[in-house]
Structure 1
Amino acid sequence: MNLADIPLRPGGAELLPVRGVRARQAFDNRDWVAVEIPVALEFNGIAHAVMLATPTDLADFALGFALSEGILLARGELYGIEEEYGPEGITLKLEVASAAFARLRERRRSMAGRTGCGLCGTESLAHVARTLPALPPGSSLSKSAVARGMRELASLQVLQKVTGAVHAAAWCTAEGEALLVREDIGRHNALDKLVGALAKSTLAASTGFIAVTSRASFEMVQKTVAAGVPLLAAVSASTSMATAVAQETGLTLAGFVRGDDLVIYTHPGRLNGQPATA
C-alpha cells in the first residue's frame, strides 16, 4: 500500500492563512490545519460522551468506542448509526440492543473528552478499570514484523504528513503489513476508529498486532485487549498502570519502537517464538 493510493479523507484538514519565518525569511501563505470539533455520542437517544475529534471515519469511531468501552460486546449489538451535523458539532446517534443499553445505564459515565485525556468526567474510581478476559496465547510474532509495522504506519499517515498534528493507529499482520490505518487528533480516538474498522472487517484481530504513534497509556492497553489483539507496539513509553493491565491480561506490550529498537514491558515470550500466559 502506497501513500499516493490513499486519498486525504474529507473533513480531516482545512486550509487556513498562516504567517511565519523559515530560514530567516518571512512568509505569508495558506497551510493545512487538522480539523478538531466536538463529536457527541448518543445511545438510544441518551447522551453519553462528547469527544474532541477529527471528523473522519465517524462510523468506525462510534462502533470502536462502543466496543472498546464495553458498551457493546459484539458488533451485532449495534443496529444503526445516524450522523447529525449542527453548528456546534456532530452528534453520532447509535441504536443499540436493549442488553447493551442496560449495561450502559449500569456503568454510566459522563465523559467530557479532550485530545490528551480519555478518562475526563469518570464518576468514580471504580469506573476507571473494568474486568477484561485474558487474551489467548495465540501465535508468536517477530521483532522484525513489529519494526516493519511501525515503519508502514508512519508512511501511511496522510493527515499527519499534511498537518503535523494527528495521531494514528494501525492493525498489522503477523508479517508487519499495515492493512488498516486510522488517524485522529486524539490518540484514543484514532485507536477507537481502528477498533471499529477492524470489527467491520473480515480480518482475524488475534492474528496480528496494533501499532500506535503515542505512548502506551492504560486506556490504549485496555482498548487493545478489548479488541482481542495480542500485542500493542507504541512509538513512545508505557506507564505503570498500562504495564500492570498488560501483564494481567496476557498482552505483549512494546514501547519505544523506533527502527529495530524496542523495549518489551510484558510477555516477551510472544516475540521470541513462545506463547504468552496471563
Structure 2
Amino acid sequence: MGRITVRRTLTKVAVGREPQRRIDTLAVEEPLEIRVSGTPLTVTMRTPGDDVNLAAGFLVSEGIISDGAQVRSAIHCDGPRVGRPAMPSADGAVNQYNILNVVLASDVAPPAAGAARNFYTTSACGLCGKTSIDAVRTVSSHDLTVDSVSVAATTVTGLPNRLRVQQAVFEKTGGLHAAALFDVATDELLVLREDVGRHNAVDKVIGWAALAGRLPLRGTVLQVSGRASFELVQKAVMAGIPILAAVSAPSSLAVELAQEAGLTLIGFVRGESMNTYSHPQRIA
C-alpha cells in the first residue's frame, strides 16, 4: 500500500525574521481508479489506505450494491490502461496500488452503460437539483423514517472532540478530513477513517460497515469533520444512517434531502451547542 504521509522541505517565512528551512509532514494525495470487472468506473483523489472500504462505500453510495456480500472480490492491479499513462504515486513512480478492480457477485447487475462519465462528476461534487433528491429516495434500500433512535444532546456535542483525538494522521499533517460512526445504544466508536476528501472518508466508513455485514446502519450517528454537503447526506441515506452531524454548515440541498429522506441533519456542533436542520425529534 502506498504511503499515507510524506516528508517535504519547506521554507518558513515570518515577518521580521530570517527565512528558515525545515521538514514538514504532508498527507499523501493520489488517484485511485475503481474498476468493476475490469471496466473503469471512476477516479477519485484519495489518501491511500482502506481502498477496498472506499470502493465498497462508493458502490453503496451510488446504489450499485446494497450489501457487502454483493462484492465477490476487490484486488489492486496494474492492468491495461488503454491510451492512458500509468497512475503515479506520491514519489512519481508507477504504483499498481492506484488501481482497484472490484468483481461483483453474479446476481448483481453491473453499472449502467455510460455511468463512468457521470461518476467523474459526481464523485467530487455530488449531484444537484430536485431530480437528484427523487433519485436518491427511489434507489435507497433503507427507510430512515422507521428508525426511532434517540440520542442525548450532550452525547452529540461531545462527538467532535472524540473524533479529533482519534485523528492520528491529521495530528501529523493538519491536512485530512475525518468521518466516524458511533453506536447510540453503546456509545461505542465503531470506526473512524481519514482522507484528503471528505466524501472519501465517509465512503471508507460505509464500505467498512458494508463488508462487515452491518447495513443498514440503524441506531448510529455519523460525525464528520467539515461541512455537510448534499453528497454526504446522500451517502448517509444510502447506508441507512439516521443521524449525520457536522462541525460546520450544511448546504441548502443537503437540508432538503435530509428532510425528505427522514435523516436528522445537525450542523455547527461546537462547544455545547448545535443546529438541528431536520427531524429534531431524535435529539433528546
Amino acid at match of 1:49: T
Q: Using the alignment, how far apart are the partners of 1:203 and 1:100 within structure 2?
A: 19
* Structure 1 stretch displaced more, 126-135 or 33-42: 126-135
2:58 corresponds in structure 1 to 65
1:118 corresponds in structure 2 to 125
Of residues 133, 146, 157, the one that matches 2:156 is 146
**In the alignment, is residue 216 of structure 1 matched against residue 228 of structure 2?**
yes
Paired residue secondary structure (2:250): coil
Structure 1 position 149, deviation (Å): 1.8
Structure 1 position 45, deviation (Å): 1.2
**In the alignment, is residue 158 of structure 1 matched against residue 168 of structure 2?**
yes
Q: Using the alignment, how far apart are the partners of 2:121 and 2:168 within structure 1?
A: 24
Paired residue secondary structure (2:77): strand
Amino acid at match of 1:172: F
2:108 corresponds in structure 1 to 100
Contact preservation (8 Å) 1:147, 1:176: no
Report sequence identity in percent: 33
Q: Using the alignment, how far apart are the partners of 1:240 and 1:265 within structure 2?
A: 10
Paired residue secondary structure (1:56): coil
Contact preservation (8 Å) 1:148, 1:177: no
Structure 1 position 27, deviation (Å): 2.1
Structure 1 position 99, deviation (Å): 4.2
* Deviation by residue 1:170-208 (Cα, 9 ceiling, x = unmatched): 001216442311000000000000111122336672122
Higher relative contact order (CA 8 A, sep 6+): 2
Q: Using the alignment, how far apart are the partners of 2:49 and 2:265 within structure 1?
A: 28
Q: Using the alignment, how far apart are the partners of 1:150 and 1:97 within structure 2?
A: 38
Cα RMSD over matched residues? 2.6
Amino acid at match of 2:101: K
Amino acid at match of 1:14: V
Q: How does 1:1-278 map to 2 (within 5 A)?
A: 11-21=3-13, 24=17, 26-84=19-77, 87-88=87-88, 90-102=98-110, 104-105=111-112, 108-110=115-117, 111-112=119-120, 117-119=124-126, 129-130=135-136, 131=138, 132=140, 133-135=142-144, 136-174=146-184, 176-201=187-212, 205-272=217-284
Question: Structure 1 regions of 5+ residues with no counterpart?
Answer: 1-8, 273-278
* Deviation by residue 1:103-162 (Cα, 9 ceiling, x = unmatched): x116724233699x3338x9x995674323431233211111112222100111111111
Amino acid at match of 1:105: A
**For the structure 1 residues 45 and 127, does the alpha-carbon distance in structure 2 shift closer, same or farther, using more than 3 Å as the test?**
farther
2:92 corresponds in structure 1 to none
Q: Using the alignment, how far apart are the partners of 1:82 and 1:127 within structure 2?
A: 31
Contact preservation (8 Å) 1:44, 1:93: yes
Paired residue secondary structure (1:169): strand
| Structure-2-length-normalised TM-score | 0.83
Paired residue secondary structure (2:147): coil
Q: Using the alignment, how far apart are the partners of 1:177 and 1:151 within structure 2?
A: 14
Q: Using the alignment, how far apart are the partners of 2:106 and 2:115 within structure 1?
A: 15
**For the structure 1 residues 33 and 114, does the alpha-carbon distance in structure 2 shift closer, same or farther, using more than 3 Å as the test?**
farther
Q: Using the alignment, how far apart are the partners of 1:107 and 1:47 within structure 2?
A: 11
Amino acid at match of 2:207: G
Structure 1 position 227, deviation (Å): 1.1
* Deviation by residue 1:27-60 (Cα, 9 ceiling, x = unmatched): 2111111101110000011111000111111111
Q: Using the alignment, how far apart are the partners of 1:114 and 1:227 within structure 2?
A: 17
Q: Using the alignment, how far apart are the partners of 1:266 and 1:41 within structure 2?
A: 34
**For the structure 1 residues 161 and 82, does the alpha-carbon distance in structure 2 shift closer, same or farther, using more than 3 Å as the test?**
same
Structure 1 position 259, deviation (Å): 1.8
Contact preservation (8 Å) 2:126, 2:230: no
| Structure-1-length-normalised TM-score | 0.85
